[in-house]
Amino acid sequence: MKPLRLILTLMPFVCGCGDGSSGSDDLLYDELSMPRVPTVALDSFTSAEDCGLCHQTHYAEWATSAHAYAMKDPVFRAFVAVRQENYAGKQDKFCLQCHTPIGTRGGDIEAGFEFADLQPITLEGVTCESCHKVASLARPYNSGHVLDPDGPMRGTIAAPIPSSFHESQFSLLHGGSAFCAGCHDLREVSGLVLERPYAEWQQSPAVAAGVQCQDCHMPRYEGQAVAGGPTRTLHRHTWIGAGIPLLEGFIMPDQEAALRVEVKRLLAGAARVDIAAPASVRAGDVVDLGIIVKNNIAAHNFPTGSTFNRQAWVEVVVRDGDGRVVFATGTLDTSGEPRGPGLLQLGSVLVDARGQRVLFPWRATEHVSNALEPLRERAFRLHVATASAGRGPLSVEARVLFRAFSPDALRALGLDEYAARLEVHEVSRDLASVELRPR
Q: Of 320, 285, 287, 286, give the one whose Cα is nearest residue 395.
A: 320
The string of pLDDT tens digits covering residues 285-324 is 999 999 999 999 999 999 999 999 999 999 999 999 999 9
Q: What is the dihedral angle through the alpha carbons of 31, 119, 247, 143, rounded to the nearest 10 degrees?
A: -10
Half-sphere exposure of 291 (CA within 13 A, CB side): 30
Whether 16 shows a pLDDT value over 50: the answer reads no
**Model confidence at 26, in pLDDT bands (50, 70, 90)?**
low
Q: Is the pLDDT assigned to residue 113 strictly greater than 60?
A: yes
CA 137/CA 173 separation, integer angstroms: 8
Instruction: Say what percent of the chain tops pLDDT 70.
Output: 94
Residues 149 and 126: beta-carbon distance below 8 Å: no
pLDDT confidence of residue 249 = 94
Answer yes or no: is pLDDT of 93 > 70: yes
Cα distances (angstroms) measured from residue 372 to each of 206, 294, 302, 377? 15, 7, 5, 7
Q: Are 274 and 292 in contact (CB under 8 A)?
A: yes
Across the range 222-237, mean pLDDT stands at: 94
Beta pairing partners, 8? 367
pLDDT in the model for residue 24: 47
More confidently predicted of 4 and 304: 304
The strand pair at 186-187 and 357-358 is best described as: unpaired
Q: How many CB atoms lie within 10 A of CB 2?
A: 10
Q: How far apart are CA 148 and CA 146, in angstroms?
A: 7
In this predicted structure, the answer to whether residue 19 has a pLDDT above a threshold of 60 is no
H or E segment to which residue 430 belongs? strand 425-437
pLDDT tier for residue 25 given thresholds of 50, 70 and 90:
very low
Q: What are phi and psi of 103, to 5 degrees?
A: -65, -40
d(CA 128, CA 375): 34
pLDDT at 22 over 60: no
Strand runs labelled E in 69-180: 134-137, 145-147, 153-155, 168-170
Strand partners of residue 345: 313
Q: Using one digit for the tens of pLDDT, what is the confidence trace for 391-437? A: 999 999 999 999 999 999 999 999 999 999 999 999 999 999 999 99
pLDDT category at 222 given cuts 50, 70, 90 is very high
Quote the CA–CA distance of 192 and 365 in Å, as a whole number.
7
Q: Does the pTM of the predicted model rise above 0.85?
A: yes
Q: Does the pLDDT value for residue 343 go beyond 90? A: yes
| pLDDT of 9 | 67
- Residue 20 has a pLDDT of 38
Contact 344, 1 (CB under 8 A): yes
Q: Which pLDDT score, from 0 to 100, does residue 29 have?
A: 84
Per the prediction, the chain carries an average pLDDT of 94
The candidate with the shortest Cα–Cα distance to 314, out of 402, 376, 409, 378, is 402
| pLDDT tens digits for range 51-85 | 999 999 999 999 999 999 999 999 999 999 999 99
Ramachandran quadrant class, 336 (left: phi over 0; alpha: psi -120 to 50; beta: rest): left
pLDDT of 146 higher than 60: yes
What is the tens place of the pLDDT at every residue in 171-181?
999 999 999 99
Identify residue 197 by its one-letter amino acid code: P
